[in-house]
A and B are shown apart, each in its own frame.
Chain A
Amino acid sequence: MLTLEQLSIGYRSRRDETVLASDISLELSEGELVCLLGPNGAGKSTLMRTVAGMQPPLAGRVLVDGDDIHSMPARDRARRLSVVLTERVHAGLLTAYALVGLGRYPHINWSGRLTDRDHKVIRECLERVGAQDLAHRYVSDLSDGERQRVMMARALAQEPRLMVLDEITAFLDLPRRVDAMRLLRRVVRETSRAVLLSTHDLELALRAADRVWLLPTGGPLATGAPEDLVLSGAFEAAFASEGVDFDRARGEFQVHRHFVGEVELVGDGLARYWTARALEREGVHVWEGDGPAPPILVVVPDGEGGEWIVSGGGAQVRHPCLYDLALELRARFQTVEL
């Protein structure tokens, strides 16, 4: 449905040209949710704007159903693709219903009058995003999450083939972000549209996207199922930076910690898992049975309300919480280092 043909993106000023990525040739099929990922400055937003027809390409073409969106009238383009941007909308005294109604813009006549069919589409779109109860609230009174829902309903009401969503989850907290992704997946499957979503949220993209477009700084753009890109090491390469590693086994970023010491961890279950996480944050390794056992032993509690017991160096200390445990380990390893 969407085809990028030898696309070069970037900026052209009077004197020179800044190419952010070139020679991008890709397809995006209907019913697909594609996430565009990439480090800051790689040109994600530029690619999004170029695909959305808001910025001309340096070379190549963007085709929707075979027609170049950069050479069609704005109204035709608006019927094929709709856009939601990161920026907050200050729509003043518009109700959510009226805002979604603006999505009908390319379909209605000069007077802006909505027909019965338009009203039907608006109601359906509000329902689809679960915002029917917001219909008569003013947009300025909505929370960020509610507003993004309404903006999505507006993008849907445009009845486009492709929805281009730029960082729309940026303002949302984690549950709201998961929710937005679930919603998008459902919309994509049910309406046989396609969605191109740019995001910073790597983990969520890995879990929700049908396909990932990965744009490293300086290109070239890599594409595939999210897991393909993890396996091939493309993620690691794209996000490689000092102090941060992409952990292929866990599919998440790891912060390099300066190694401060090692302990033996006794116990299991959830308590062990989170204790290990806390130790990792402190730069304390958990002894894995190779080599000599470290002098310090940490016993995790058995059930709720239990205590962490640290022994070693002849002393035994009990801690009611991980925070206290971490404080003590920090102190201990500092003395060792000194």
Chain B
Amino acid sequence: MNQPTEAPAPPGAPGADLRTTLRPVAFLLLVGGVAGVFVLELMIGSVPIPPDQVVRYLVGAQVEEAAWRTILFELRIPRAITALIAGAALGAAGLQLQTLFRNPLAGPWALGLTAGAQLGVAVVVAAGAVVGSELLSRLAFLSEIGIVVGAFIGAGGVMAVIASVARRVSTITLLVLGLMLGFLAQGMVSVVLHFTTETQGRVFASWNDGSFAGVYWDHFPVLLPLVAVGLVGALLIVKPLNALLLGERYAGTLGLSVERARLSALAGAVILAAPVTAYCGPVLFVGMIVPHMARGLLNTSDHRILMPAAMLMGSLLGLSADLVVHLPWERHVLHLNAVNALIGAPVVIGVVLRNRQMRSMAV
């Protein structure tokens, strides 16, 4: 990947937009923001840890209290890393889906990918109940793989349906279809859950709330490589995505193999969204709003700039939302998705109102 700070306009060109020249600053702000909120995530919680101690721990120096070390290592660092990568993954997936479908409201959740993954996970959990949880819990790693595979199959299945009709239907039809497929999958989840035991039902319900807190170090060997593949893939297709800004017909005349580009972008979105959903539960809104926040900050549709920005913005949003969730509230009532909705819904409303025609991808 080339340096994202290389704006498409030659430096010093006449009439260059102020926001274009300030792009490196915007990137620095994003990186600084991610680092800052990351540290805040580690500091704040029911047991507050002073910032200097957090930084000492991060650079490998001795911290004052052993308990802090345990809290940081066992709980807060895995959680913060999860928020960081899940946010980046969902942001990148959302951007690539929005460009591919030329639809400003596309995203893993709006198009039903998340619900598909939910269904996949529910089926695996129910299968576990049928096969006997003892067997699966003894093969803990296998059951984890099972859940990830379930999420992949569910999300991939929904994606296949969406992709097969996408070219024949309008922007709005596609969104309604995605939402309905999502509801359908959720209805099937309820049916599937009838076949589980009460305990498993409860475990599923808490997973279903969506949280970055349930991921620990032993989950990373599966989660991290998958997301890494997805993120690298997203950076590799910035050029085709740029061509797709002109629409598929023009993109074809520019020498893009449209079918291959569609397939890579769709597969990429599934690789990013499915494992995140498998481990964190359904995370709403992030994939849909992050691309808009990145565009708003950088004022460009150029994916060479936008893609890294969407990843950083996703991390920032993931970490910030999670920070709000685990502030030391008197009563723990705020769920991750409640926070996401509080941030996301206004952004979506803004996008819809600004984009009255919903026909063009004026994003």
Contacts and interface: CB of A to CB of B under 8 A. Distances in A.
B53 to A, nearest CB: 42
A105 B361 CA distance: 21
A194 to B, nearest CB: 16
B246 A101 contact: no
B126 to A, nearest CB: 42
Main DSSP-derived SS at the B contact region: loop
Contacts of B8: 95, 97-98, 101, 114
B221 interface: no
B283 to A, nearest CB: 26
A78 B254 contact: yes
A54 B361 contact: no
Given A102-B243, A110-B239, A52 B253 contact: yes
A75 B252 CA distance: 9
A142 to B, nearest CB: 13
Interface stretch (B10-18, B87-95, B313-321): B10-18
A158 B15 CA distance: 24
A111 B3 CA distance: 10
Contacts of A110: 236, 239
Contact of B13 (A76, A101, A135): A135
Interface stretch (A84-92, A172-180, A234-242): A84-92
Determine the interface band of chain A, counting residues with CB < 8 A from chain B: 35 or more
A231 interface: no
Contacts of B239: 105, 108, 110-112
A90 B362 contact: yes
A54 B245 contact: no
Given A97-B9, A110-B236, A113-B2, A85 B17 contact: no
Interface of B: 1-2, 6, 8-10, 13-17, 20, 102, 236, 238-239, 242-243, 245-247, 249-250, 252-257, 295, 299-304, 360-363
A136 interface: yes
Contacts of A76: 255
A136 B295 CA distance: 17
Contact of B256 (A79, A103, A105, A111): A105
Contacts of A106: 254-255
Given A90-B361, A91-B246, A136-B15, A111 B304 contact: yes
Interface in A47-93: 52-54, 73-79, 81-83, 85, 87, 89-93
B255 A111 contact: no
Given A93-B300, A105-B243, A114-B8, A85 B362 contact: no
